[in-house]
Structure 1
Amino acid sequence: MSDKSIASIANISEQDLLSFTPAMRQFIQIKRDNPTLLIMYRMGDFYETFFEDAELVHRVLGLTLTSRSSTNSGTRIPMAGIPYMTLDQYLVRLVNQGFSVGICEQLGTPGKGLMERKLVRTITPGTLTDESLLNDRSESTLLAVYIQGKGSAVGLAWMTISSGVFKAMETTEAGLLNEIERINPSEILIADHDRELAEERFPDRSVSALPDWHFDRIRAEKTLLKQFGTSTLEPFGIADSDLLITAAGVVAEYARSTQGTDLTHITAITRETDNDHLGLDAASRRNLEIVRTLRGEQTNTLFSTLDHCRTAMGSRRLASWLTSPCRDQSEATKRSDAVEILLGSMEKLENINEFLKSIPDFERTATRIALGSVKPRELAALRDALPSLNVIAENLSDLDSELLKETAEELPLPEELYQLLCASLKKEPSTFIRDGNVIAEGFNAELDELRALKNHGGQFLVDYEAREKERTGIPNLRVEFNSVQGYFIEVPKGQIDKVPADYRRRQTLKNVERYITPELKAFEDKAVSAEERSKALEKQLYEELILKCKPFCQDLLNSAHGVSALDALSSFAQHADTYRWIKPNFVPVTSVEIKGARHPVVEETIENYVPNDCDLDAQHRLHIITGPNMGGKSTYMRSIALIVLLAYSGSFVPAESADIGVIDKILTRIGAADDLARGLSTFMVEMTETASILRQATDKSLVLMDEVGRGTSTFDGLSLAAAIAEDLVVNCRSLTLFATHYFELTQLEKTLPDVVNVHVAAAESSKNIVFLHEIRPGAANQSYGIAVAKLAGIPRSVIRGAQKVLLKLEERAAQTDDKQLDLFVASEASSTVFPEEELPEEDPTLLELRDQLADVSMDDLSPRQAWELLADLQKKAKETK
């Protein structure tokens, strides 16, 4: 090779490869076999990266980029390394940015020829299982999407390795994005020929394109049968679907390959349908701010408001219930019944919550046991928590709730597991098995002997030195140790004539001679290797312990399921008790009747929240809501949608009473935002979301429409809004809250059946506007836009100009039925509307004085400041005169 450096493996020919060192040839081969992975290559105490990988981690992680000579000709290659002790903290940053990392470990014994290395683990965004890489309160989910052809059904299968969840469902291309938003995968697997579709449909997701041959139905079925240990897929409900078998097989094979071991805790797959969950499209999830606000923040959301869970498992279950509410009213009722029972047993609830605080995240512990990667302290925490599970089960056993009784049966774990962990683990073991001090004393006789030798060797040396002094008569004799010579007996040169015959000279120094005896050598052989041997034995015993724990994995997952459900229900109960929420009542017809509805998040942030009623049914399907900006229209609409969502999640709700009918979807169009990355303007986004709602809405859907049509000209927007409202009430027949500033739409109450006008009340004084936040019958008489602009701080001169224009437009509207005016084109019509001579002339200085005086806050002025202000105003007034 003539180049002095090589930056990419792609530039290395087979002839060039021969000139590389054996270790680098191993790396190059592993990298070629796994071109999409960033390879972390173990070399001693470091994980090294080379070539383009080194330049990538230098750029992304800020690691120092160096180079090394890895060929016989001295050619240098880029290199960047990570100390093995700090690997996890860098992996978190890489995975969070969507990179997939391959971990290559040393398999041979150092110092005995070429060290073999092997790719032992692959870490991708959707297959995280390590405690240090996972977020406590969210999941890392892997999803496979299989599309047979354009316009056909789509197969989805997803797995959360860390919690043992494996599910599948069929959907349509139109519903694909909504399901992806619901499942919220960390990584999506697609066939290579669908790569462009993925880039177009979900560009912000981490996508891994696999060769098309991975999506082979026969291959997938074999993978699943091996995974489940069965001869048929009939018990799992997917045998009739090639789409689901293929997608599920791809997920299972990919997950297995990344972990480098069997996924023994994944023993079944569950088939879902569209009817299992309350429908929420992607826009509705954003608009309702369930787990993230519109700004992407995780605070002040529905989830953060309700999350009082004591365990990470409970928080994840709570998030799942809120993001995927069940559509089955009976299931939601079972949860709210359980919440009611807990509220009626507050003493027990407080007791249960105290014990829940001591429960570790053993759902993920079970997974790491199955994968063989569990840490000693995780097992110790599990051991310490097992008695608490029994106490919680006892507290639940006599509560009159079907769900709580089922939970009580799930919680207890086999006594054999508890006894095994108590006997094998120290009370407070080390964090890592490599540090030793994990296995309990008395568990293994050989280990106890090695520990005694290691820990009590000092006493042996003291006793041995005393015996030798007495035996030889050399008072200055010393028994010493150093890392070079090992153990030795040191004798001054003036005393060497007294050295016994069994002493063997080990080293001669200026003033002393050093010796070794057979007894000391035997001790040395044992002592020097005792620590190394004890750690090796502990590692072996710990691995055997994990194998003994594996049969309990399914029991652990079942118990964790019970703990998480109980914790989520307890969180519902605590919030209901604190904020006076009530139990919703489900009715068998499509309706929403709520008295005193409150927004579950906003009510915590303001002192005097004004509750409102909502009555949507077959005779009042569409409410036209008018009123001022900032009056609370959006908050009111969101509160109704969130109360319905909470009811179907199994929670109590913020209201005086709530009769919730049969609802299949909640669809919302709220707010204004563009999508410049996809080339969509604000109005285009608005119309796209509206089109999606009109396609999805049924006569059982709850629809929220806020200010539709405001992004275009007045007549265009009004026409669109009217047609959309008519379609919702006549064709879709949805239950709809339709907020608008187009007062013309209030006429729909007279022309369309099932339309009702309501408005947000406000009161305006000569100086200000007061928002009453009350929903009242009938249409509003104005929008108070100028008053709101004044509150926002628009300059007073602009406010006065707007008031003049508004006055002229109102006069014009009363006198003529001419078509829409263009204020920005000089024409005969516009000149007659705003004739210059009709505009009153006012002295600018007087206007400035009036504005300055109006802005004064009298309560904030000291007497001295008030005097100075008055003097200044008087001076200006005299100058004007």
Structure 2
Amino acid sequence: MMNIDRSKLTPMMRQYFEIKENYMDYILFYRLGDFYEMFFDDAVRASRELEITLTARNCGLEEKAPLCGVPYHAVDGYIKKLVDKGIKIAICEQTEDPALAKGLVKREVVRIITPGTITDPEMLDEGNYNYVASLTKLENTYAIAYCDITTGVMKTTELHDPEKLIDEIIKIEPSEIVISDKHTLAPDMIKTIEAQGITLTPFMDHAFQPHAGKRIIERVLNVFSIESLGFADDSAILCASGALLAYVEETAKVPLNHFNKIDIYNHSRFMVLDKFTRRNLELVETMRTKDKKGSLLWVLDKTCTAMGARRLKAWVEEPLIDIEAIHKRLNTVEVLVDDLLLRSDLRTHLKQIYDLERLTSKLVYGSINPRDLVALKQSISVLPDIKGCIDTLEEGDFQTINEDIDSLKDIYQLIDESVVEEPPYSVKDGGVIKTDFHPEIANLRDAIANGKGWILDIESKERERTGIKTLKIGFNKVFGYYIEISKGSSKNAPEEYIRKQTLANAERYITPELKQLEETVLGAEEKIVRLEQELFAQLKQNIMVHVDRIQTTARAIASLDALLSFAECSYRYGFVKPKVNNKDTIQIKNGRHPVIERIFNETPFVPNDTLLDQKAHKFYIITGPNMAGKSTYLRQVALITLIAQIGCFVPADKAEIGVVDRIFTRVGASDDLSQGQSTFMVEMNELANILNNATSKSLIILDEIGRGTSTYDGLSIAWSVVEYLSQGSGIHAKTMFATHYHELTELEGKIDGVCNFRIAVKESRDDIIFLRKIERGGANQSFGIQVAKLAGVPEPVIERAKHILSKLEVNDINNNIQNLQGLEMEDGKAQPQTDGKVKYGDYSVSEGLYHYLSKLEVEQMTPIEAMNALYNIISQFKEK
């Protein structure tokens, strides 16, 4: 494109290239009349991506320029389609009135649109923030800053671990990440980020320098010193934040008046949730369909406003670890749960509030329309009622929320006095400003309404004054209004009449009075539209100075709405207030899975108890058949813990939650072909992440370990993991491990804190019924064939499987494991001896007898079963 001889181009195409050369990485939407047009390479690419016709236009060269275009009034849909594909767009508009232009109309790029800088609410999901982030690295410190340019929310943090940085990025879910065009990020990190579907945008390296960051932060946030915001000179977060503001300012091309705060946070302020846990617990979307329905957010979201929905999602993704902050939320929710009338009144009021955050951004970006201002006024009108509902409440967060909600009565008055109740969409259509708001508006509207009457009055007055009965007033586009007199009567025309046109049968005249009236009547509509535009612009400017107040109020409303959502959900579904503390105990009475319970709400959910601590109940080994409910139980314990730490009531009869710093999950596995990793490698990566990062304050959920390799390898790894997490110098984290390796149940009694649990199953001949109840003890079989039968596997296959199983059981791993040597436990009770004996209490017994005895469940035996067991001991293990 750049090799074109520009001297041969038409003036318009030369202007196009002058603008385009500054936006080579963008598709330039060049405004021509009622269309945005694209040329050359941009046209070829846009026509392909948008599936629109590619034509050509004379540009002064021998060959015509490729061309495609879209109507300006329908441009948003086309822009969204391109941006969704990661394509960046520059909008070029006429910046002067064509009627006043000398020569070519001046044009400039007025806005840049990238995946992270969309401002049109119609193109955004109202329930989600659309973050644009900047990422930088100084020495061994990574810093990420991110913001939603439609709400003014901006945050930043620093990390030292690349894996934790990736987890943070996955939590934030930015649409776009800005990096220095001289970045030093590792290729693997770049690849991982791009694999998440995030657009990476190189930006000038100068913007990432500390001095540049200092200047722009102080200017945009209007502060004397960055230290007042918590920034240190030469810090990585200073560089990331400064670059982000520079990029947003460059793309928006307007002052960022709605950026008034940067939240500098330590990621350890929140429970750490890595990408595996977020996926496995399905916090905000399901694993398979990526839909909100079926996720935890789907259950908890009973918000009334878009702002509240975004705040709730952020809370779900950032569980708290600060006890005081958790208690404040829980106490607020408790008041709302207990007061039905208060909850009902607040919900009624909140449903009348529009998206104040994004209305404010439209004000800043100059795209707010008359209907938006009416929506702002409507939202403000209910603020006093909301404050009235909570102004006497001091529990939890109510006092802070009430103080942050500004009634904004002056802004309400500004809009109410000036804008009609039901304005048109655009101020260009007129009819926006109230008649009595401005005297000239009143005069012009009077002229429009009564102009014809005024003409008839002049006509009647002139007939009477001149005595000419044929006198009449007419109108055409050439002369405007005129007085017409027949040829025969024209000799009686007054001297002050000015002849304008002679016809065959009549003469036409004008008078100064008629021309003045013409100017008033004919120019009224044009004048009133121009005046309304001026008054509307002034109104926007008057409201703009109060952006901070509107935003603070919007954030308080968002928090109130999210807390109210917690309360509504808790009331509807019978959740209870958990007792949250810093102890090392998780105790749940009749806990339920919040999502499964709602999806299958016609079937009663079978609740289960949980007791995890750092003593006798540190490590659950859970066995039982597939489909019986092991995974559901594991997830429900993790979700109940998480729900408590976001400050919501929990699905249980009673719960005491000792705050956990992290929740780890290793649930299932599938091949990651995009990364060239097998099922087993994915599984081991997740396991390594847990073992390398868990602490004694963590909660670990393991749903199968080692299933992706041979049975012996898998069992060996699983066995070793149990030891590492539970004994000696290991991690000692609270752990729940669901497994098909029934051999691991032998670790109860050998390792302190290891407890066996199983899913209760009722057998009836060859059939089984899942009771969904967790009970003490280990499962003595996996019921795999019975589950296959339930799943509909043909009967011949089932029968053949039974026959094969009976043959395999003769030499299965359960028998072989009894001959394993050298499994010395540092803290266990059983230790193999050199003479092949095992120390069992005060006695030395053979290994075979030891394993036989350890499997007996004496408490559940009938008398006859006990006699048979005794007979087997005597006959099989009698010393010879």
The yes-or-no answer on 1:661 pairing with 2:658 is yes
The yes-or-no answer on 1:84 pairing with 2:78 is no
Q: CA 1:803 to 1:708, structure 2 compared with 1: closer, same or farther past 3 Å?
A: same
- Matched residues in 1 for 2:468 and 2:119: separation? 63
| 1:199-248 deviation per Cα after TM superposition (whole angstroms, max 9, x unaligned) | 31212212112233332222121111212223321111121552011000
- The CA deviation at 1:647 is 0.6
Alignment of 1:845-856 (within 5 A): none
Alignment of 1:421-436 (within 5 A): 421-436=415-430
Q: CA 1:663 to 1:483, structure 2 compared with 1: closer, same or farther past 3 Å?
A: farther
Q: CA 1:819 to 1:422, structure 2 compared with 1: closer, same or farther past 3 Å?
A: same
Residues 624, 757 of structure 1: 8 Å contact kept: yes
Q: Which residue of 2 aligns with 1:643?
A: 640
The yes-or-no answer on 1:289 pairing with 2:304 is no
Q: CA 1:205 to 1:499, structure 2 compared with 1: closer, same or farther past 3 Å?
A: same
The DSSP-based 3-state class of the residue aligned with 2:2 is helix
Partner amino acid for 2:787? V
- Matched residues in 2 for 1:816 and 1:688: separation? 31
- Matched residues in 2 for 1:480 and 1:86: separation? 41
Partner amino acid for 2:667? I
Which stretch shifts more, 275-284 or 446-455?
Answer: 446-455
1:53 to 30, 42, 45: 42
The DSSP-based 3-state class of the residue aligned with 1:280 is coil
The yes-or-no answer on 1:610 pairing with 2:606 is yes
- Matched residues in 2 for 1:492 and 1:759: separation? 111
- The CA deviation at 1:386 is 2.1
Partner amino acid for 1:593? Q
| 1:153-186 deviation per Cα after TM superposition (whole angstroms, max 9, x unaligned) | 2011111222221211111212111101111212
The DSSP-based 3-state class of the residue aligned with 1:189 is strand
Residues 329, 396 of structure 2: 8 Å contact kept: no
- Matched residues in 1 for 2:575 and 2:377: separation? 38
Which stretch shifts more, 177-186 or 804-813?
Answer: 804-813
Taking only aligned residues, the RMSD between alpha carbons, in angstroms, comes to: 2.4
Q: Which residue of 2 aligns with 1:548?
A: 542
- Matched residues in 1 for 2:595 and 2:33: separation? 53
- The CA deviation at 1:511 is 7.2
Residues 155, 169 of structure 1: 8 Å contact kept: yes
- The CA deviation at 1:302 is 1.0
Residues 341, 400 of structure 1: 8 Å contact kept: no
- The CA deviation at 1:464 is 3.2
- Matched residues in 1 for 2:630 and 2:307: separation? 36
2:124 to 131, 134, 137: 134
Q: CA 1:623 to 1:494, structure 2 compared with 1: closer, same or farther past 3 Å?
A: farther
Q: CA 1:492 to 1:289, structure 2 compared with 1: closer, same or farther past 3 Å?
A: farther
- The CA deviation at 1:514 is 5.5
Q: CA 1:500 to 1:582, structure 2 compared with 1: closer, same or farther past 3 Å?
A: same
Aligned residues: 806
**Structure 2: which 5+ runs fail to align?**
820-880
The DSSP-based 3-state class of the residue aligned with 1:166 is strand
The DSSP-based 3-state class of the residue aligned with 2:810 is helix
Residues 410, 562 of structure 1: 8 Å contact kept: yes
- The CA deviation at 1:466 is 3.5
Q: Which residue of 1 aligns with 2:152?
A: 164
| 1:258-294 deviation per Cα after TM superposition (whole angstroms, max 9, x unaligned) | 1111112212322111221111001111111111100
Q: Which residue of 2 aligns with 1:38?
A: 27
- Matched residues in 2 for 1:690 and 1:497: separation? 109
Q: Which residue of 2 aligns with 1:199?
A: 190
Q: CA 1:482 to 1:316, structure 2 compared with 1: closer, same or farther past 3 Å?
A: farther
Q: Which residue of 2 aligns with 1:794?
A: 793
Q: Which residue of 1 aligns with 2:365?
A: 371
- Matched residues in 2 for 1:701 and 1:480: separation? 89
The DSSP-based 3-state class of the residue aligned with 1:103 is strand
2:2 to 1, 10, 16: 10
Q: CA 1:100 to 1:814, structure 2 compared with 1: closer, same or farther past 3 Å?
A: closer
Q: Which residue of 2 aligns with 1:808?
A: 807
Residues 130, 148 of structure 2: 8 Å contact kept: yes
- Matched residues in 1 for 2:468 and 2:286: separation? 83
Q: CA 1:584 to 1:65, structure 2 compared with 1: closer, same or farther past 3 Å?
A: same
Partner amino acid for 2:445? R
Partner amino acid for 1:333? H
Q: Which residue of 1 aligns with 2:249?
A: 256
- Matched residues in 2 for 1:243 and 1:442: separation? 56
Q: CA 1:759 to 1:510, structure 2 compared with 1: closer, same or farther past 3 Å?
A: farther
Q: Which residue of 2 aligns with 1:858?
A: none
Partner amino acid for 2:801? A
TM-score (normalizing by structure 1): 0.87
Residues 435, 445 of structure 2: 8 Å contact kept: no
- Matched residues in 2 for 1:507 and 1:24: separation? 46
| 1:685-728 deviation per Cα after TM superposition (whole angstroms, max 9, x unaligned) | 22222222222211111111111211122112222222223222
Residues 593, 616 of structure 1: 8 Å contact kept: yes
Which stretch shifts more, 674-683 or 636-645?
Answer: 674-683
Q: Which residue of 2 aligns with 1:446?
A: 440
Q: Percent identity?
A: 40
Residues 106, 118 of structure 1: 8 Å contact kept: yes
- Matched residues in 1 for 2:654 and 2:377: separation? 45
Q: Which residue of 2 aligns with 1:188?
A: 177
- The CA deviation at 1:55 is 1.9
Q: Which residue of 2 aligns with 1:573?
A: 567
Alignment of 1:704-853 (within 5 A): 704-730=701-727, 731-813=730-812, 817=816
Which stretch shifts more, 50-59 or 504-513?
Answer: 504-513
TM-score (normalizing by structure 2): 0.88
Residues 743, 814 of structure 2: 8 Å contact kept: no
The DSSP-based 3-state class of the residue aligned with 1:202 is helix
Q: Which residue of 2 aligns with 1:825?
A: none
1:563 to 551, 557, 564: 557
- Matched residues in 2 for 1:767 and 1:819: separation? 29
Residues 210, 234 of structure 2: 8 Å contact kept: no
- Matched residues in 1 for 2:51 and 2:493: separation? 62
1:117 to 107, 110, 116: 107
Partner amino acid for 2:85? Q
Residues 237, 270 of structure 1: 8 Å contact kept: no
The DSSP-based 3-state class of the residue aligned with 1:651 is coil
The DSSP-based 3-state class of the residue aligned with 2:97 is coil
Alignment of 1:525-536 (within 5 A): 525-536=519-530
Partner amino acid for 2:279? R
| 1:641-677 deviation per Cα after TM superposition (whole angstroms, max 9, x unaligned) | 1111111111000001110002101111113322222
| 1:421-465 deviation per Cα after TM superposition (whole angstroms, max 9, x unaligned) | 222222222222222222222222222222322333232233334
Q: Which residue of 1 aligns with 2:324?
A: 330
- The CA deviation at 1:590 is 2.0
- The CA deviation at 1:323 is 0.9
Q: CA 1:110 to 1:593, structure 2 compared with 1: closer, same or farther past 3 Å?
A: same
| 1:595-650 deviation per Cα after TM superposition (whole angstroms, max 9, x unaligned) | 11101111112221000111110012211111111111111111111111111111
Partner amino acid for 1:278? M
Q: CA 1:590 to 1:507, structure 2 compared with 1: closer, same or farther past 3 Å?
A: farther
Q: CA 1:765 to 1:655, structure 2 compared with 1: closer, same or farther past 3 Å?
A: same
The DSSP-based 3-state class of the residue aligned with 2:812 is helix
**Structure 1: which 5+ runs fail to align?**
1-8, 821-881
- Matched residues in 2 for 1:310 and 1:817: separation? 61
Residues 309, 315 of structure 1: 8 Å contact kept: yes
2:584 to 572, 582, 590: 590
| 1:560-606 deviation per Cα after TM superposition (whole angstroms, max 9, x unaligned) | 11111111111111111111100010122222111111011111122
Q: CA 1:502 to 1:92, structure 2 compared with 1: closer, same or farther past 3 Å?
A: farther
The yes-or-no answer on 1:343 pairing with 2:331 is no
Residues 327, 396 of structure 2: 8 Å contact kept: no
